[in-house]
Amino acid sequence: MNRNTTFSFTLVPSREQEQALRRHVGAARFAFNQCLRLVVNALESKQQADKSAEQTKVPWSGFDLINAFNAWKRSNEAGVDDKGPGLVWRAEVCQQVFEEAAVDLGRALEAFSAGRKGERQGKPPRFPRFKRKATARQSFRLRNKGSGTAVAIRVGEGEQARMVRLPKLGSVRVRESTRRLRRMLRKGRAKILFATVSTREGGSWRVSLNVQASPLHIERRAGRGEALPVGIDRGLKTFAVLADAAGKELERIESPRPLRRLLPKLRRQSRALSRKQQGSRNRHRARQRLSQMHGRIRNIRHDFLHRNSSRLAQTHGHLVIEQLSISGLIRTRLARSIADSAWALFGTLLAYKAAWYGAELTVADRFYPSTRRCAACGTVGGALNLSERILSLQQLWSRGRPRRQRRSVPGAVSASYSVRCLASRRREARGDAKRLWRGELWRKLRVERA
């Protein structure tokens, strides 16, 4: 089974190439807005038309939008020059930019329709809006046409190893090494599907190559012995606690919390930006410094998540993670800390990397009481407040003292234990409570400890 991955490089374009990149960004934004204008005009004419008259066809899918835009750009409405009617500057950019912008709009319209019909989970998407030059993300996408040595997008030709060749743009230098991708392409283990060029913080250009690669080598997916379940309990101060089914804590991963650590600098730069005059060069520089700070926070967080998710998928054969209602937790007073930890992104990365490296990933049920369940006896306690860091089992008394355990470790232990007892524990809960009063469960624990 093939896997999709991405290789990202920093572009080092010349002055002429940078101008061409900006023309392609503007062309993508123009095509998106013009296709949306054609959809809006068709909807308005359809509403105003008489019922007996022929209904106007509204271009809705990506294929229909491409045909509608191609017909418009060759008409008199697009402009007229010495060569005839049509869009005057359409030959200065790659035609794939127009097509990919129409495809993006088609996906947005399909998502809007699915949300209106109730076929899409989550919050229903709104109708697409026109893109503005000041606020829209500066990016465009190119497909890789051709096969063999005649492909449109090539990486590292001849002595120019750090180079990416793009249609209509030519060879553009990159800053990072392309050795790994070139080796995969040379051996036929990868194929470039498309390239996305965008701007990042500080005005730098990046190219992201979406690659369809072969599965990892069998040695990298080799078995790790008996795949014992390892539970992962996510937190805020401590990012994650790993424990096995026996209740032994294996690892404690501390969270870098980049937003919390760099928040004073972020606030200082935000105040500095608000003091600058509108439209001045100093305001532009302050806005770039603030954007670079946001990018640094994001890069620290993503680097931490990628490193730990890859390491866990490579070193453990069976991982168990708890399903959390992050969209509901993000509305609480802990929203900033939860967003800084990026729980949802960590789960997404762990899911596809576990499939890459041959590890099994089990997602425990959202309503499984992992925090309130004792890892040793399986007793479920009452509701816990956010300030309670220790799980106290008031039912089990030994020599006048309650049994105590850390709160974070039982969550991970119970998550790992839930692989085989997620459904059975619910049925046995009432039986455990009855046997608890008779002392049967307590005698069983004493025998196991002895």
> By mean pLDDT, which of 41-55, 131-145, 251-265, 284-298 is the weakest?
41-55
Give the pLDDT of residue 298: 93
Q: Can you give the pLDDT at residue 224?
A: 59
At 197, the pLDDT band (50, 70, 90 cuts) reads very high
Q: What is the pLDDT of residue 405?
A: 46
Element (H, E) at 278: none
Q: What is the pLDDT of residue 164?
A: 92
Please provide the distance, in angstroms rounded to a whole number, between the alpha carbons at the two ends of the chain.
49
Residue 171 and residue 339: Cα distance in Å, rounded? 39
pLDDT score, position 52: 46
pLDDT at position 23 is 93
The average pLDDT across 403-428 equals: 44
Average pLDDT value for residue range 380-406 = 55
Asked whether the predicted pLDDT for residue 178 surpasses 80, the reply is: yes
pLDDT the model gives residue 367 = 80
In degrees, to the nearest 5, what angle opens at C-alpha 254 toward C-alphas 392 and 335? Answer: 80
Give pLDDT, residue 386.
66
Higher pLDDT, 110 or 223: 110
pLDDT confidence tier of residue 34, bands split at 50, 70 and 90: very high
Lowest mean pLDDT among 58-67, 240-249, 275-284: 240-249
- Supply φ then ψ for residue 230, to 5 degrees: -125, 120
**Considering the chain, what percentage of its residues have pLDDT values greater than 70?**
80
| Token pair in block for residue 149 | 């040595």
Res 210 pLDDT > 90: yes
Contact 8, 197 (CB under 8 A): no
The span from the CA of 321 to the CA of 341, in Å, is 15
Q: How large is the average pLDDT for residues 72-101?
A: 82
Kindly tell me the number of DSSP H helices and DSSP E strands found in the chain: 12, 16
Q: Rounding to the nearest 10 degrees, give the CA dihedral for residues 347, 349, 354, 356.
A: 160
Residues 6+ away with beta carbon under 8 Å from 103 = 62, 65, 66
DSSP lists the bridge partners of residue 253 as: 240
Burial call 387-396: b when 16+ CB within 10 Å, e when fewer:
eeeebebebb
Q: Which CATH architecture has domain 217-257+298-450?
A: 2-Layer Sandwich (3.30)
User: Which has the higher per-residue pLDDT, 344 or 403?
Assistant: 344
Single out the residue of 269, 260, 273, 261 nearest to residue 293, CA to CA.
269
Q: How confident is the model at residue 143 (pLDDT cuts 50, 70, 90)?
A: very high
Query: Domain coordinates of the chain in residue numbers?
Result: 3-16+138-213, 17-117, 217-257+298-450
**Phi, psi (rounded to 5 degrees) for 7:** -115, 125
pTM summary value: 0.78
For residue 53, give the amino acid letter: A
- Helix-strand-coil percent breakdown of the chain, rounded to 5? 45, 20, 30
For position 402, what pLDDT does the model report?
A: 45
pLDDT attached to residue 132: 92
Residue among 441, 439, 419, 415 at smallest CA distance from 428: 441
pLDDT at residue 219 is higher than 80: no
Angle, CA 29 vertex, CA 27 and CA 31 arms, to 5°: 65
pLDDT band at 379 (very low <50, low <70, confident <90, very high): confident
- Res 435: pLDDT: 45
Q: Say what the pLDDT of residue 366 is.
A: 80
Write the pLDDT tens digit of every residue in 17-26: 999 999 999 9
Find the mean pLDDT for residues 252-271: 94
Question: What pLDDT is recorded for position 36?
Answer: 94
pLDDT digits (tens, 9 = 90+) for 319-345: 999 888 888 888 888 899 999 999 999
What pLDDT score was predicted for residue 396? 37
Judged against a pLDDT cut of 80, whether residue 83 lies above it is answered with no
- Please enumerate in sequence order all residues whose Cβ is within 8 A of that of 345, keeping only pairs 6 or more positions apart, or say none: 302, 305
Cα 213 to Cα 6, 216, 343: the distances in Å are 10, 9, 27
pLDDT of residue 265: 95
Q: What percent of the chain has a predicted confidence (pLDDT) above 90?
A: 38
Q: How many other C-beta atoms are found inside a 10 Å radius of the C-beta of residue 202?
A: 10
Per-residue pLDDT band at 275 (split at 50, 70, 90): very high
pLDDT at 112: 93
Average pLDDT over residues 415-424: 42
